[in-house]
Structure 1
Amino acid sequence: MPHPVLDAVEERAEEIAALAETNEKLGRLDDAAAKLLRDTGVMRMLQPATYGGMEAHPRDFAETVMRIASIDGSTGWVAGIVGVHPWEMAMCDPEVQQAVWGEDQDTWIASPYAPMGILRPVDGGYVFNGRWQFSSGTDHCDWIFLGAFLGDADGNRVMPPRNYHVILPRSDYEIVEDSWDVVGLRGTGSKDIVVRDAFIPANRVMDFMGFLDGSHPRNAGLTSPTYHIPFTTAFPMGITSAVIGIAEGALAAHLAYQRTRVQVTGTKATDDPYVLSTIGAAAEEIKASRTAMLDNVSRFYDAAEAGREITFAERAASRRTQVAAAWRAVRAMDEVIARSGGNGLRMDNPIQRFWRDGHMGLAHAIHVPGPVNHVGALTDIGVTPPPGPLLSMI
């Protein structure tokens, strides 16, 4: 049975699609598009029940993100990224959760997690400074997770590096307007963030290693298996699902166009065996990407539900599966786009927007294949853990 949120998305699909062009022109989600996401409930799927969340199976969340992204890439991307943040907030200090959700359980939390800031220890907490890029959906968020390195009393990074997630209210950071001018996913409004000398209480700083080793959900007393899948499965899940959904949207738009297309040779596209063969092969590749992604997260959920510890080798294989799924879907999308003809790529045809959005999503750091495949190969050979920064997203 489809999840009720997925049903709600289907009911509002035409409204979501109608705002795609507006989102792109604004360089962020239109307020009406953000309201549609709130109304469907997708942002509360991974939120704890204590604050009105659904504690949904992560597979249901991934499927919902895929569907939204197949309607509009930017809306799906924001759902996939911002929608994962309640999963992490469930592991944070109860006082922080109350500050975020106590008055409004629909409060959104932004990111990015890249450690571009420095925490300088002071009495009772830290002084925080930094600048971050790519804060998706940030205009509609009132809190944020930001990645940071621990610094010394002079603000110099401590070695070896120690990575943290820092939680800030909207009053403590600046959104840099006009910092998101890109070829794809324009409607995500993934703008720069600046923090200047913000005081951060100690209970709003989370050690990143606690997410990698699973100690944060255990220490928070969370019992739902949803919160015991690895961080490196949960966080990429929303992003990779969005990319796969975008490829599905491109395929659907392409099929709709090909039904009436007549090529310059006078041949109907529906009578061209080469075009049809390519479409069939691409459709199967995109479906394989979807299946791999959903199977991946389901297996981790099942392991968490059984109380089984998830090994480093499993985490490494999971990341390889995620990256491969995204690349497979986008390559397949490229095959059908190349058969769309010149008119298929006019700016009034949604095919071109899905194409641009898919490639922009593939460029995200979690989809860089080299380090992930490197770690996977070392792990298969028996060299664990791998050295240095290769560990950062495994």
Structure 2
Amino acid sequence: MGQVLDSLVKYADEIRADGAEGDALMRLTDRSAGRLRDAGVIRMLQPKEFGGLEAHPREFAETAMALGAMDGATGWVSGIVGVHPWEMAFFDPKAQQEVWGENPDTWIASPYAPMGVATPVDGGYILNGRWSFSSGTDHCDWVMIGAAVGDKDGKRLSPPKSLHVLVPRSDYRIDHESWNVVGLRGTGSKDLIVENAFLPEYRTLAAERVMGGVAWQDAGRDETLYKFPFSCIFPLGITSSLIGIAEGALNCYIESQRERVTVSGTAIKQDPYVLSALGKAAAEIAASRAAILETVDRFWDLTERGKEVTFEMRAVGRRTQTAAAWRAVGAVDEIFGRAGGGALQLSNPLQRFWRDAHAGLSHAIHVPGSIFHAATLTQLGEEPQGMMRSMI
């Protein structure tokens, strides 16, 4: 285990217990957020000059997995909020100083979808809009959000142009009534509202430069971590936490079924059909974990050697990542379907893992259609265009 995860394992029981409270509060408990902050989870991909660890992405993924296995929402927040310092490394040093200068443990929320419009003015933009699904936002002091560039009348440009922009807590408000969902409730992924906020130019990045994997050049970065492909690092925390949730469901099932006897009087340990299904589910979850980590290790080795991670490699990597998510959640369904009526009790954490797994699978990063299409086209010697290149 890495140093961050080592410092969290001793609090595993507390994190599990706080998961139920966070589910009711519809945000992480202050204690859980404090544990993540004290351990440095959100600083794992942060630049060293601002107190970051610049950890290997594999260590970041394994930490999100382990936390997801303790509590789905805690793993999810660590994986999503934890990736923002990686992109923050590409912003103007003045912006980095504003965010981290006084406190390197300052957290940044998202999302990246261009749900609002940035209208150009002297020195920057005027930003307006409403953004949904800002995970962990109650514990963050800044947001890094997507914005469509508008014309002088505030209408989106055509063809579209997108920015990733930084906004301080003083310039947006959280709609606390916007998050009441069936799964990942503890993530507190609420809506944000920005009204006529001035956005200086230095707090913006061209979205296509970040997603195209070349923002490190603009920022003068030379560390392997920041040359790592966006299309691998951005989904990494999300899918890793989801695989951790599946592992948590498996662990929960095993612990609760050791002495269970069915209505027919058969001990679960003597039911060959259940044991076979459970073995297959465990293998599917393990395969999902291995696939994700293999891609990370391979891409890291290529990047470190100065080799190109080609579009085809990235597309296949996204296919692997997306398939891993679906495989893991399918295994959770096999587990939950054999857990008996007791698993339906809200006091049983298995039902929360099941709900969280399905909520996590609904994230846009796990939609397989265009990703599978693009990966196959590249392997057939074609060059995907338009939406087929999105997020690859």
User: Normalised by the size of structure 1, how large is the TM-score?
Assistant: 0.98
Amino acid at match of 1:191: K
Q: Are 1:228 and 1:301, in contact at CA under 8 Å, matched by a contact in 2?
A: no
Alignment pair present for 1:38 and 2:40: no
Q: Tell me which residue corresponds to 1:302.
A: 301
Amino acid at match of 2:273: Y
Q: How does 1:368-383 map to 2 (within 5 A)?
A: 368-383=367-382
Amino acid at match of 1:178: E
Q: Tell me which residue corresponds to 2:226.
A: 227
Secondary structure of 1:145's counterpart equals: strand
Q: Tell me which residue corresponds to 2:20.
A: 21
Q: Are 1:69 and 1:242, in contact at CA under 8 Å, matched by a contact in 2?
A: yes
* Offset of residue 184 of structure 1: 0.3
Secondary structure of 1:180's counterpart equals: coil
Q: How does 1:5-84 map to 2 (within 5 A)?
A: 5-84=4-83
* Offset of residue 132 of structure 1: 0.9
* Offset of residue 81 of structure 1: 0.2
Q: Tell me which residue corresponds to 1:389.
A: 387
Distance (Å, rounded) in 2 between the aligned partners of 1:155 and 1:278: 56
Q: How does 1:179-194 map to 2 (within 5 A)?
A: 179-194=178-193
Q: Tell me which residue corresponds to 1:268.
A: 267
User: Normalised by the size of structure 2, how large is the TM-score?
Assistant: 0.98
Amino acid at match of 1:300: F
Distance (Å, rounded) in 1 between the aligned partners of 2:53 and 2:221: 14
Q: Structure 1 stretches of 5 or more lacking a match?
A: none
* Offset of residue 227 of structure 1: 1.2
Q: Tell me which residue corresponds to 1:161.
A: 160
Amino acid at match of 1:320: R
Distance (Å, rounded) in 2 between the aligned partners of 1:226 and 1:12: 29
Q: Which stretch of structure 1 is more off in the superposition, 166-175 or 217-226?
A: 217-226
Secondary structure of 1:348's counterpart equals: coil
Q: Are 2:370 and 2:387, in contact at CA under 8 Å, matched by a contact in 1?
A: no
* Offset of residue 345 of structure 1: 2.3
* Offset of residue 211 of structure 1: 1.2
CA-based RMSD of the aligned residues comes to 0.9
* Offset of residue 218 of structure 1: 2.1
* Offset of residue 164 of structure 1: 1.1
* Offset of residue 220 of structure 1: 1.8
Secondary structure of 1:105's counterpart equals: coil
Deviations 1:74-99 (A, max 9, x none): 00000000000011101111000000
Amino acid at match of 1:108: W
Deviations 1:293-352 (A, max 9, x none): 011111111111001122111111111111000000000111111110111221111110
* Offset of residue 228 of structure 1: 1.1
Amino acid at match of 1:103: E
Q: Tell me which residue corresponds to 2:364.
A: 365
Distance (Å, rounded) in 2 between the aligned partners of 1:124 and 1:219: 20
Deviations 1:159-188 (A, max 9, x none): 111111011000111111110111000000
* Offset of residue 46 of structure 1: 0.5
Amino acid at match of 2:113: A
Distance (Å, rounded) in 1 between the aligned partners of 2:246 and 2:36: 20
Distance (Å, rounded) in 1 between the aligned partners of 2:156 and 2:128: 12
Secondary structure of 1:152's counterpart equals: coil
Secondary structure of 1:28's counterpart equals: coil
* Offset of residue 265 of structure 1: 0.7
Deviations 1:19-73 (A, max 9, x none): 0111011010111110011122111110110011100000000000000000000
* Offset of residue 217 of structure 1: 1.1
* Offset of residue 389 of structure 1: 2.4
Amino acid at match of 1:33: S
Distance (Å, rounded) in 2 between the aligned partners of 1:221 and 1:11: 39
Amino acid at match of 1:323: T
Amino acid at match of 1:390: M
Amino acid at match of 1:392: S
Sequence identity of aligned pairs in percent? 57
Q: How does 1:87-126 map to 2 (within 5 A)?
A: 87-126=86-125
Q: Tell me which residue corresponds to 2:148.
A: 149
Distance (Å, rounded) in 1 between the aligned partners of 2:159 and 2:378: 23
Secondary structure of 1:199's counterpart equals: strand
Q: How many residues align?
A: 392
Q: Which stretch of structure 1 is more off in the superposition, 308-317 or 207-216?
A: 207-216
Q: Are 1:211 and 1:230, in contact at CA under 8 Å, matched by a contact in 2?
A: no
Deviations 1:201-227 (A, max 9, x none): 001110011113322112222222111
